[in-house]
Amino acid sequence: MNGQGLPVSFNFDDCNFEEANAGFPGITPGGNPNCVCGLGSNSMYLDGIGDFLEISNQANILLDSNFTLDFYFWMDPQVGETDVFSLRSGCSSLDSLMTLRYFSDTDELLFEIGSDVNNYFSVRKELSDNTCWHRFSLVKFNLEYFIYFDNILAKKILSRENIIFSRIAKISFGNSPCNMVNNASRFKGRIDEINLSKRAFSELEILKSFKYPDRIITPNTTIFKGESITLQLGNTCASQILWSPSISLDLVNVADPVASPEISTTYKVVLDNGSCMSNDTVRIYVADKTKLDCDQLLLPKAFTPNNDGLNDKYGISNIFLVEALEYFEVYDRWGAKIWSARNLSDAWDGTFNNQPVNTGMYLYKIKYTCNGEEKLNVNNFSLLR
């Protein structure tokens, strides 16, 4: 996440419990958490027995208004109920609570939040088994609470009232006051990148701030036949890396092999983390220059710039067709030019002079060179809000 509005941040890169911005009390550890490989440099490993982490209850006031709570965790195999994190002062009622627990029988995470028994909400999510690292994000905007598991919105909650959390309780990892009552185990595994922002992050901001642990950064893309592309891997603590198929790769056991496929190919990487295995895939499409249809820029007939992370910008999809772009321009229904670009990667966000434009029909003009031929593409499209 970026630093704007981010008063509390712990990344453990220096193997200490100090807050990264030096403007907030450090984390209080219980037991003896170990500093191990993490998303930046290091993370904190909790042994599931006596280790836990607690954030000062000075952070609780930040939860009264809009906020974003975000962290990554890597859980070792555990049996029964596991306490991942919690914020509650006791275990006798549902008053003012927030908890995240794991149940091995169903391989599910359970998140709970509420102010009382009449304003209580929960959401379950099966834990993905293709990665060791997982991400939990909670966003509050007014009375709405958005719960994300691994960057995917699992549920949106509309609370009856603003949930005010106890000033005595602490945000803790592996130290819920209900562990004895529920016969739950403390969290065993790694915790990293704990961030608490005093504003609500959009879904797009959450996606953009992703650390890509054990994930392929390179998106599905297209290259010309005879070209190569480097496949890039995000943060990993894997002791062994194996890419396949090997026939079109220069190396198969490195984080960033060079792929030179003759045909469209799906590449898979398997990461051996000892007690945990991760895997991910990427599709590289191969186009033949001699068979190009230079008119197929694949611009959509409509887009929706509403900041939901889907179709928020209007741009050229088949950029691999374009050898040189002279201009890309957008006009309103009266013929006034409201946006222009000279770079292939640029896309229109649906604004003019930093103000959102109205729903309606618009016109684009694109002048470009494809396969040595100069082309002019003109058409209309819709902007929907």
Give a yes or no: residue 72 inside a domain.
yes
298 and 281 housed in the same domain: no
73 and 185 housed in the same domain: yes
184 and 308 housed in the same domain: no
Domain finish residue from 157, 185, 208? 208
pTM: 0.81
Domain finish residue from 153, 176, 208? 208
263 and 190 housed in the same domain: no
What percent of the chain clears pLDDT 90, i.e. is strictly above it? 78
313 and 366 housed in the same domain: yes
181 and 142 housed in the same domain: yes
Give the phi and the psi of residue 355 in degrees, each rounded to 5. Answer: -120, 135
Q: Is 350 left (phi over 0), alpha (psi -120 to 50) or beta?
A: left
Q: List, for the chain, all residue ranges whose pLDDT scores fall below the cut of 50.
A: 1-5
**pLDDT at site 6:** 55
Quote the number of domains for the chain: 3
99 and 183 housed in the same domain: yes
**pLDDT at site 1:** 41
Give the phi and the psi of residue 185 in degrees, each rounded to 5. Answer: -90, 150
**234 and 297 Cβ atoms separated by less than 8 Å:** no
Q: What are the residues whose beta carbons fall under 8 Å from the beta carbon of 328, sequence distance 6 or more?
A: 315, 316, 340, 341, 342, 346, 364, 365, 366
154 and 270 housed in the same domain: no
Q: How far, in Å, CA of 223 to CA of 261, rounded?
A: 9
Nearest to 52 by CA among 189, 172, 194, 182: 172
**What are the pLDDT digits (tens) for 299-355?**
889 999 987 667 889 998 888 889 899 999 999 999 999 999 999 889 999 999 989
Give a yes or no: residue 153 inside a domain.
yes
Q: What CATH number is given to the structural domain containing 99?
A: 2.60.120.200
Locate 269 and state its tokens: 């990487």
**pLDDT at site 3:** 40
252 and 162 housed in the same domain: no
**pLDDT at site 332:** 95
What residue numbers bound the domain in which 339 lies? 292-383
Classify residue 230 as exposed, middle or buried by CB count within 10 Å of its CB (0-12, 13-18, 19+). Answer: exposed
Give a yes or no: residue 213 inside a domain.
no
296 and 311 housed in the same domain: yes
Helical segments of 165-242, H only: 179-182, 203-208
36 and 135 housed in the same domain: yes
How many CB atoms within 10 Å of residue 64? 13
Give the phi and the psi of residue 291 in degrees, each rounded to 5. Answer: -120, 20
**SS3 of residue 181 by DSSP:** helix
